[in-house]
Amino acid sequence: MSVLQNLSTEYLTIRNPIFAQYENAVITGPPDDTHDIGYYGTYWNGTNTIYTGLYRDASEGVYKFYDELQVQPDVYNGLINTAGLGFTVASLEIMNLTAQGHINCLATTNSTSPTIGSITTAGGIGIALDAWISGLLNIGGNLIANGSLTAINSSTIYFTDNFIPNNIAAYASMKNDGGWFSARKPVNVGINDTPKVPNVALTVNYTANALTITINATAIGSGYYVGWYLRDDTNTQYAKINADTDNGSNHTLILDQGFTIAGIAGTNTYSLFNRRFSGWIWDESLIKLSAYGFPREDTLSTLDPAAIDGSAPEYIDVSVNNLTVNGSVSVMGTINPNPIPTMTLTTAHILTLTEITNYSVIYANPSAPITITLPLLSSLILINHAYRFTIINVSTFKITLAGNGSDTIETKAFFELKKQWDKQTIVTTPFANTWFIQ
């Protein structure tokens, strides 16, 4: 039987919808995937006959289109000489491409514009899962991240805008409060802060490295301590609280990491810290920009100083060099150090040596007329020393200054500050038994 090696025809019709190639392939014995399978065609490039086609590369098991080959394929042995002169992987244009596995692009063209690069597209790209870019990401348009978390693991971030806005969204999605903040390292919180809830007892024995721990804490409501730091007071270890169940007088906490040493109920104690974050927040409840420390932010639209669910922020210290205030200054606590030591009296009072020595200004702010009695001069042990202080009537009521015993004020038994903001400076000289108004 002869073997047909060549068929020359101008028109060929194949009846079967699928036709077979290489039907005499080995089908028994050891594996025999040693032949490239495919087809080729030729064209004249003006100088040489060029071979082009499609084949399955037996060495890789991959289908490839090729072009520019100047060496005729070995059709009998099934071999495409990829090292042959001019061999080039050919380009392919299709409508849609669906890959069930990986798509690898081996080109190394760097991208310097939307139309230059190893992969370019005239349209958009939809990515269902993660994307990893090891080089520079140039965004010629807008970048919109719609996930719940966008993390930037970079040592340096540059912004060309001189203002960095946040809380920019559709009206219905905007939060009440806004600002910027940073997380604090647990060990620093433990060293620098006073525990919000100190020395709480362990109520159930704790197993080393366990993520669940039960403590005796009376805060009301599950989730109260979420975001707080918990410290093992005995071994000085820290963990963040991810979940909290209120069991009445006890709270069962789920930690982000366990403590390495076990704890004994009724013996070991733990402390709770609520300032895991710190920063500047615009507080709509106060209509003020406030420096706050607080435990959590991911589920909050408002930082409420009066919150009773464990999320309440607390004021933190601020240090500056010079401070210019265009309005008024309100001091809720004390000024330390106080440049002008003051005290305020709201009821009748007998001044002492310590008070007139320590306070330069004494405010009188009663809700009815009162008498303020000066200390007995003979008790002041005046040895080459004079005393001086100022009394200011802040109220609208009469304030009477009275001498003590035989002492007088400008030779009188008393002196009156009759109207609001009346101010008098009281002085005495050594060895005198009279107070003077200056």
Give residue 1's pLDDT: 39
**What's 427's domain CATH number?**
2.60.120
**Residue 300: pLDDT over 90:** no
100 lies in some domain: no
Average pLDDT of the residues of the chain: 88
- Asked if residue 353 and residue 306 are part of one domain, the reply reads no
Pick from 318, 351, 376: which residue ends a domain? 318
Model pLDDT for residues 159-200, shown as the tens digit of each residue: 888 888 888 888 888 888 888 899 999 999 999 999 999 999
Give residue 392's pLDDT: 94
232 lies in some domain: yes
Give residue 155's pLDDT: 84
Model pLDDT for residues 202-244, shown as the tens digit of each residue: 999 999 999 999 999 989 999 999 999 999 999 999 999 999 9
Give residue 134's pLDDT: 83
- Asked if residue 419 and residue 373 are part of one domain, the reply reads yes
Model pLDDT for residues 371-424, shown as the tens digit of each residue: 999 988 877 765 556 788 899 999 999 999 998 878 888 888 889 999 999 999
157 lies in some domain: no
- Asked if residue 304 and residue 179 are part of one domain, the reply reads yes
Instruction: Provide, rounded to the nearest whole percent, the portion of the chain with pLDDT above 90.
Output: 50
Global pTM value = 0.61
- Asked if residue 281 and residue 203 are part of one domain, the reply reads yes
212 lies in some domain: yes
- As a three-state string, the secondary structure of the chain is CCCCCCCCCCCCCCCCCCCCCCCCCCCCCCCCCCCCEEEEEEEECCCCEEEEEEEEECCCCEEEEEEEECCCCECCCCECCCCCCCCEECCCCCCCCCCCCCCCCCCCCCCCECCECCCCCCCCCCCCCCCCCCCCCCCCCCCCCCCCCCCCCCCCCCCCCCCCCCCCCCHHHCCCCEEEEEECCHHHHHHHCCCCEEEEEECCCECCCCCEEEECCCCCCCCCCCCCEEEECCCCEEEEEEEEEECCCCEEEEECCCCCCCECCCCCEEEEECCCEEEEEEECCCCEEEEEEECCCCCCCCCCCCCCCCCCCEECCCCCCCCCCCCCCCCCCCCCCCCCCEEEECCCEECCHHHHHHCCEEEECCCCCEEEECCCHHHCCCCCCCEEEEEEECCCCCEEEECCCCCEECCECEEEECCCCCEEEEEECCCCCEEEEC
- Asked if residue 374 and residue 302 are part of one domain, the reply reads no
- Asked if residue 350 and residue 271 are part of one domain, the reply reads no
Give residue 384's pLDDT: 56
Domain count, the chain: 3
- Asked if residue 410 and residue 307 are part of one domain, the reply reads no
267 lies in some domain: yes
- Asked if residue 294 and residue 204 are part of one domain, the reply reads yes
Give residue 2's pLDDT: 44
Pick from 36, 64, 93: which residue ends a domain? 93
277 lies in some domain: yes
Give residue 88's pLDDT: 95
- Asked if residue 178 and residue 306 are part of one domain, the reply reads yes
Pick from 93, 123, 151: which residue ends a domain? 93
- Asked if residue 277 and residue 349 are part of one domain, the reply reads no
Most confident region among 12-26, 146-160, 220-234, 283-297 by mean pLDDT:
220-234
148 lies in some domain: no
229 lies in some domain: yes
Give residue 305's pLDDT: 87
Give residue 299's pLDDT: 65
- Asked if residue 308 and residue 209 are part of one domain, the reply reads yes
Domain that holds residue 3: 1-93
- Asked if residue 433 and residue 347 are part of one domain, the reply reads yes
